[in-house]
Each structure stands twice: as C-alpha cells, then as structure tokens.
Structure 1
Amino acid sequence: MPTVSSDHEPRPTEEPPLSRIITTALPAQGHTSPLLAVSADLAARGHEVVFLGGSRFAAAAERAGVGFVALPAGADFDDRDLDASFPGRSSLPPGPERLAFDARHVFVDPIPLQYRALLALLADFPADAVLADAFLQGALPLALSRPRAERPALIGIGVTPSMLPSVDTAPFGPGLPPLPGEAGRARNRALQEEADRRGEPLRQYAEKVYAELGVRLPEGPRGLAMVTVPDHFLQLTVPGFEYPRSDAPAGYRLIGALPGLVGDEQPLPSWWDEVTDGRPVVVVTQGTLANGDLGELIAPTVTALAERDVLVVAATGRPDGPGALAGLLGGTLPGNVRAVDYLPFERLLPHTDVLVSNGGYGGVQTALRYGVPLVVAGASEDKPEVAARVQWSGVGLDLRTGRPAPDEVGAAVDRVLGEDRFRARARALGAELAEHRPFDAIAELVESLGRC
C-alpha cells in the first residue's frame, strides 16, 4: 500500500501530536473539500492527520498540511468525468434511475476496496479516530467488525442534506418537505414502505458486499446505517436548514456548516466597481462540476434578466465559460451581464441580492452565511433535497426542475427581490450559522475520545 509521507512524521524535537486521526472521503470535490478543511483545522490544532482519498487531491492535502494516501484504483475516480469510470451513467435521466445507478456503482461497489485501504492505513498509522464522509461506506465495517475498545472511534460527517430516515420526514430523494401532524406521518410511512420495496434489490446487493467482508449490515434503510453505525454522526448544517426528527439517535448532531473556503486570492475583474453601483446584484452559478451544459440554468437566467435593471454576474465555473455562454446567446451577452470563469465568492456574496443556484449544499449554505436569499433549480444528485430545504426554511424558492424556462427564473427572482421576507429569513439563518462553531465541535469531540 502507499505509505504515509515522512514529511508528516513527528520530528524528535517536536511535541507529540495530541491524537492520530484519519480522515477520508469519496473522491469527489463536494465530499472531499469539507473533509480536507476539517483535516487542516485538526492539524493546525496539533493533531497528526492523514487523509485517505482520491489521487487528484494529493496536492490539496499537502496544502492542508496533512499526510495523504490514495484510494486504490478501483475505488478512485474523477468526478469531473464520471462517464469514464461509470459507463452508461450519462444515458440515465436525473432522478430515481440515476440515483439507483449511483447507489450501486458509485457508493456500494467500492466498499471492499475502501475498507481494505482503511485497514492497511491503520496498520501503518494506528489512529485514535477515523472521520469519514458519510458516503464513504467502506468505513462502516470498521465499527461493525469489532468492539469499540479494539478499534478507533468512527465519526461520520454529513456533507449533504441528511439522509436519516424518520417518522417526521419523507424518504430522501424527491425533495418532499415535511407535512405536520398525523397526516404527514401517515404520508411518510407510506412513502417509506414504497421506498423500502423499491430499494430491496439494492439492499440485498449491499448485504452481500458487506457479508464478503465478514460483517452484517444492520436492518433498515441505507440512510439509517450511515448514521447509526458510526459512534458519532455530525451533520454539517443548522436546525434552521434541516428537517426536525423527533426520533433521531443520540449520536446525531447538527454542528453548523463549514465556512466558505477563500483559497488563493484571485484578481478582481475590471468591472468590479459595478457591484456597488446601486443596482440589485443577481449571481447565477451551476457550480464547478455540473456546468457542462450552461443552458440548464445560467443561460435561462441571463435571458430572463436581460431587460431588468439589475447587474447579473454569471459565474460559469469553467475556463471557457464566458465564451460558451455567449455562444448559447447568439454570440454576445446582454449589456447588464458580466460573465466570469471563477470569482472569489467570499468577496461577491456580501454585495449579492439574490443567488440563482443549482443547489450545491455547501454553496447554498455559504450564501446563507451572508444572508443572501436564493432561487434554486436542481435535479441531479442531492440537489432536489437542497432546493426543498431552501423553500421550507423560507430563504428562497424551489423551481422543482433542473432546467427552468426563462420566465420561471425571472418570476422567481422578481418575487425574491420584491418580498422582504426572503431576505429576512436568509439573514436570520445567517445569524444561526454564525452561532455555530463546527471546527470547534469536531475538535472537542476528537479530543474527548480515547480508546475505551
């Protein structure tokens, strides 16, 4: 197996590390970035940390000041080109079919390789705790295979909207907000029974995968095991942005969202002064991964707002994005539109009046940290669930599609700009986010653990 870089072995003259910690995540940007941010914070506090993850994140781990071990090839992939690793995925429409494909091939199939890589790393680097992205399910056999006294503590980290099933929530996936009272619970029971029926083939498949590792998967939906098998589960959000669950297990905690990562300072564009010229500022983005087709959300938004007295900042998230967007619109951009490849969002969001987004979990919560209300249109992965939480929490509108028409976007932006309640709720949620200290919560938990 790859060994831990000697750059991260403690020097004889240094103080010994407080703890040895392994962090690990699926090799996808949205899963890896939060775990690397946690890793960097723990390392800065004096813990010795090694990150087990995708090979393309080796340099990022080095910048975070932590050791790095790559997942084996069969468990490694590049989320910027999922078709290369998972042929046939792109032919499935966003929604239940693609989610089922991902559940089997992206999340379940790599479990044995992930687990064996984790065991090999533990043999070389005996850790006190393992902090795992909830979707890296190869960490679960660590807790299923032996008592706590014979292994490190396992801490699950929820980097997407919570999948924990509950009598108070509909099953994860379609983006259905809670309904109050017994009528809501009856709906939830019926939907969960249907979800369990449809998910039974996948469950049986996962049971066989775990059985080959010598462990038994607990009864119940997959989302339940993700939360209840680890010794602790920390969800990266606040109560104001997550559905209440009266039956949540004791180890399940909402600890707040991680602050947005500033990263390397980027030069500001020549038109930057326009963001403070008095016009409302509307920012539209499809993130840095789901941006292969700018016609899904950015182009409809630009078209919808072309005649409005607003400044539209189209953050395309790709080097050729401004040119590609202009091509979709006949060769030129409207006069009130400024298109960029990348822009420091931590500089832009304080001046933003509305964010139009496809629903990335971290990006949405970063906007809320600045009190920015949202219009969300997302159809793939967990984005319908993020969008549903935006509307449920009162901080914006869910268009319930991943490819809205321009008039749908325009009407939603007009509502969010025109009704003060959205901005007020976004600011209230921003204040709630500011009250939480997720890095402190994680560090305090790690430092409270010892081998039992």
Structure 2
Amino acid sequence: MSKVVLTSTPFHGHVAPFLATAADLTRRGHEVLFYTGSRFEKQIAETGARFVPYPADVDYDDRDLDATFPRRAGLSPLDRLAFDLKYVFSDPTPVHDRRLQEILAAFPATTVIGEPSSFGMLPIALRAPRSERPLILSLGILPPTFESADTAPFGPGLPPPSTEQERAQYAAMKPAVREALADAQHHLEKIFESMGVSLPDFFRNSMVTVPDQWLQLTIPSFEYPRSDAPSGFRFIGALPADNVGSYQLPEWWGTLGNRPVVVVTQGTLENHDLTQLILPTIQALADLDVTVVAATARPDGPDAVRAELGKVPNNVHLIGYVPFERLLPLSSLLITNAGYGGVQTALRHGVPLVVAGDTEDKPEVAARVAWSGVGVNLLTGRPDVPAIRKAVEKVLGNAAFKSRALDLQAEYLRHEPLDTIAEIVERQA
C-alpha cells in the first residue's frame, strides 16, 4: 500500500474534492495524510485520513478572510484577486514548503496531491528530478489557466476564437494580461527565489506545468479544445461533492418533485451578501409554478433572507447547508454564482444551469456553461429580477438545455475519477 500526502488551501471549495479522494484512498488501504487548515479537522478525520494542521501563523478561516487579511476588505474584484494571489496564496508558501519537507521526512509518501493554489508543493518538483522525489499531482478544481494559442487569456470569460481575426485579437491580449499581473508574478518569483528555486514561467502556466500531472476535474465537452495542452494534462471527470451519510432531511423534502424544483445558491464563499443572487431569485420566481430551494450555505442564512424579505413566498424553502448530491437529482435547474465544483455537480446529475458570477474564476466557468449549451450566462454577479426570470423561463421552456445537460451527464458517467487517482497512486508504490 502507498503513502499519500494531500494538501489544499483551506477554502471549502478547494478542500471538498480532496475529502472524497482521501476517503476513497483510505478505503483502498492506503495511508493518507491531509495537510490543510484547522477548520477542516473533523471532516478529514471522518475520511480516515490523518490530519496535519497548517501552522497557526498561516492558518485562517475562509468564511471570514477579511478578519485575517483586513487590507482585503473593500477591494474591487480585480484588486482583490491581486491581493489574494500575493498575500493569501503566495506569502505562506515558504512555511508550507518547510512543513511539507518535514512531513515527507517523517512520512515518506510516494505521491503528493494538491490543487492550483497549493504553491507549497511546487518547490518539491522544482528541486529534484522525478527519480529522487514523490510524484506531484494537481487536481484541476478550476478551469485550466495556462496560455494557449486556441483560447483567450484566462480571466475575462471569452469563448474560443471562431475566426482568424479573433485568434489574432486574443494573441494580442496576452501581453496585456501578463502586464496586469506583473506585480503578482514578481512577488511570487521573489518568494520562490527565497526557497532556492526558480519559477520557470508565468505563474498561470507554471501552476499546470510544474506538477508531473494535472488531473482536470471535468470532461472534454465542458472545456475548450487546446492543441497545445501540456503533456501531463488529462481529463478525469468530476469527483463527488460531499459526504451525505449523516444529513437529516428537512420536513419538506418529501414534497419535492410535485413541480419543477429550482435550486439557488451563492456558494460557500461569496455568501455574505445574499442580495447578490438569492434574494432576487426568490423575488423573480415568487409567482412561477416552481418550488425554489434557496441554499444559503451559512447557518444564519434563512434568518437573513427572512429579515430582508419580510414575507417569504409560499413556493420557497430556505435552508443553510444542503447536500447537493441528494438535492440535485430532484431538481430541474440550478441557479448559481458559477463556482466550478457546484457546476460540475449539477452536470453530473444532468441539471441545466443559470449562472451569475463575476469574481475569481467565475466568469470563465460561466462562459463554459453557455459555450457547452447547458445553460444561460447572465454576464454579471448581480443580476436583476427581470433578467433572472427571463433566464429561468428560457431554460425551463427549452428542452435543448436539459437534453444537452443529459448528454454531458452521460459523458461524466464514462469517467471514474477516483479509480484514476488510485491507479496513479498505486503505480508509485
């Protein structure tokens, strides 16, 4: 049996795929050590993996990043992205590098598995040839970031070029994108130099090319074709979203299915201001013959919605946490702020989408929803009531969206991501 180290930035959406991975590998008899933030200790223990927490000086709670990083508060989306790259993800890298070296000295793993923001594992791959170190895998928990002749630069959510003129326009955009991120690039280069290694390329390329393999958590039909993808890049399908074994169903659960079920969520990170998507969705669908499940992903979310609305429409169920693996098979439509994991989960269940996201990687995810034909992209993170109503009626009223979502579901079912990861791990033993 193999020894495996998992490591993930302590964001719920980053850690969730690793919980399924840890549980599966331990069931197969492998020894798994999981290095991440302290708030996930209980969930990791439930997988059977051994938990190792981040050192206290680099630990934080993703539900309130501004408490740990007060200078982050109030920044524009673009400035917040640059801030996070430098101070949330990059600055702790030397601490994580040292800690991972200590872990590997005591626990000689043959495989280290991280994700795009796990910068601390990259020096392992840069310091030594493959024969002298563990295999380094990265799980693609967000759309691929690397530059390609066949796509626009990552970020603004532009579809692949359809003409030579568009291809030329996209090529001309790439130096400007690099320039916009030059400060973050320089910051990260200095950090890697402090660890005695060099970042070999633009960080968005290095995130994908430095690991020995990049396992993209989706299917080809939900990703733009690239003729120049790195040799270690492969699609493996989408991992299960969560563990639903101990969840107690609400009283109204048995009524679902009497009419179309529309689920709305702002995800686990961007849920502080529920007026972005959840409240306007409730207002938009109040008189439609649908059941709305508003999943606020925070314990006080239902009370916050009631406080804003005064009276909650009769066709709405409010809930904090809900296991989407159970809810989505009963659903006709997911309205979401375009988190990558949530979109993958919907498509694994053949559920079409309405997406509204404009921060982090969400414009890219939303663009892929429209490009693949599985839903409507509202092109904003704050859609108004009429726009949401129109999009919902369009998706529910046009069978092509559901048909396309079912086509993608069939493609997901042809992948066995947990088997793929286990096979890679077991080849290293």
TM over 0.5, shorter chain: yes
Indicate the residue corresponding to 2:308 in structure 1: 328
Q: Helix, strand or coil for the counterpart of 1:397? A: strand
Indicate the residue corresponding to 2:356 in structure 1: 377
Alignment of 1:112-191 (within 5 A): 112-191=94-173
Bigger mean CA deviation after superposition, 181-190 or 299-308: 181-190
Contact persistence 1:36–1:51 (CA under 8 A) = no
**Shift in Å at residue 404 of structure 1?**
0.7
**Shift in Å at residue 263 of structure 1?**
2.5
The separation in 2 between residues aligned to 1:444 and 1:407, in whole angstroms, is 49
Which of 370, 379, 399 is residue 420 of structure 1 equivalent to? 399
**Percent identity of equivalent pairs:** 53
The separation in 2 between residues aligned to 1:433 and 1:248, in whole angstroms, is 21
Amino acid at match of 1:67: R
Indicate the residue corresponding to 2:366 in structure 1: 387
The separation in 2 between residues aligned to 1:233 and 1:346, in whole angstroms, is 25
Amino acid at match of 1:260: A
Amino acid at match of 1:46: G
Which of 230, 254, 258 is residue 249 of structure 1 equivalent to? 230
Q: 1:370-409: CA deviations, max 9, x gaps?
A: 1110001112222221111111111001111111100010
**Shift in Å at residue 342 of structure 1?**
2.5
Contact persistence 1:265–1:344 (CA under 8 A) = no
Contact persistence 1:74–1:113 (CA under 8 A) = no
The separation in 2 between residues aligned to 1:184 and 1:256, in whole angstroms, is 30
Which of 28, 44, 55 is residue 38 of structure 2 equivalent to? 55
TM-score by length of 1: 0.92
TM-score by length of 2: 0.97
Runs of 4 or more above 6 Å deviation? none
Query: Quick check: 1:303 aligned with 2:283?
Result: yes
Alignment of 1:14-163 (within 5 A): 18-94=1-77, 96-163=78-145
Q: 1:119-150: CA deviations, max 9, x gaps?
A: 01111111111111121111111011111122
**Shift in Å at residue 334 of structure 1?**
1.1
**Shift in Å at residue 446 of structure 1?**
1.4
Alignment of 1:265-304 (within 5 A): 265-277=246-258, 279-304=259-284
Amino acid at match of 1:241: F
Amino acid at match of 1:248: A
The separation in 1 between residues aligned to 2:377 and 2:351, in whole angstroms, is 15
Q: Helix, strand or coil for the counterpart of 1:81? A: helix
Amino acid at match of 1:213: M
The separation in 2 between residues aligned to 1:132 and 1:315, in whole angstroms, is 28
Which of 292, 296, 301 is residue 316 of structure 1 equivalent to? 296
State how many pairs are aligned: 429
Which of 327, 336, 340 is residue 361 of structure 1 equivalent to? 340
Contact persistence 2:16–2:241 (CA under 8 A) = no
The separation in 1 between residues aligned to 2:56 and 2:228, in whole angstroms, is 39
Amino acid at match of 2:65: L
Which of 404, 411, 420 is residue 383 of structure 2 equivalent to? 404
Indicate the residue corresponding to 1:11 in structure 2: none
Amino acid at match of 2:348: R
Q: Helix, strand or coil for the counterpart of 1:91? A: coil
Contact persistence 1:169–1:243 (CA under 8 A) = yes
